[in-house]
Amino acid sequence: TLRDRFRMRVNLYKHREERTIEPGTFANLVSHTLYERRFGPYFVEPVIAGLDKNQQPFICNMDLIGNINYAKDFVVCGTASDNLFGMCESLWEPDLGPEDLFEMVSQALLNAVDRDAMSGWGAVVHIITPDGTITRELKGRMD
């Protein structure tokens, strides 16, 4: 699977470079992997988020052939991306704390998914902080 391919390449990077991979480097690795299959692409829209070595946030997403979209604030993807983009633009503020960020993401996801017939069944939200990752599940409509 694609996950196994990324895991193998990250492990090769760790052994070759003798350090952990940074989010920006991982984004380039994913981009190159997707571009290799541009004529028979994987149908994925990856979102890569993390903290770099200076504990600064990094976030980007890609299309199915690996074109990287770097962002300072937020990225969206999936079938509800149009609705998500509007919700995130209206709710997002800079320098939100972990709890406020979770509340903003939850509201944006649930409201956008409610307006899209092909989305639903909830979501998993990961908040990445220097102390660790907070993971919570959201329950959405079940129709």
The predicted pLDDT at position 92 comes to 93
The whole-angstrom separation of Cα 8 and Cα 38 is 20
The predicted pLDDT at position 10 comes to 96
pTM of the full predicted structure?
A: 0.88
Say if CB 32 and CB 68 are below 8 A apart.
no
How far is the CA of 72 from the CAs of 7, 32, 80, 94, in angstroms? 26, 22, 21, 10
Phi/psi at 28 (nearest 5 deg)? -65, -40
Mean pLDDT of 88-110: 93
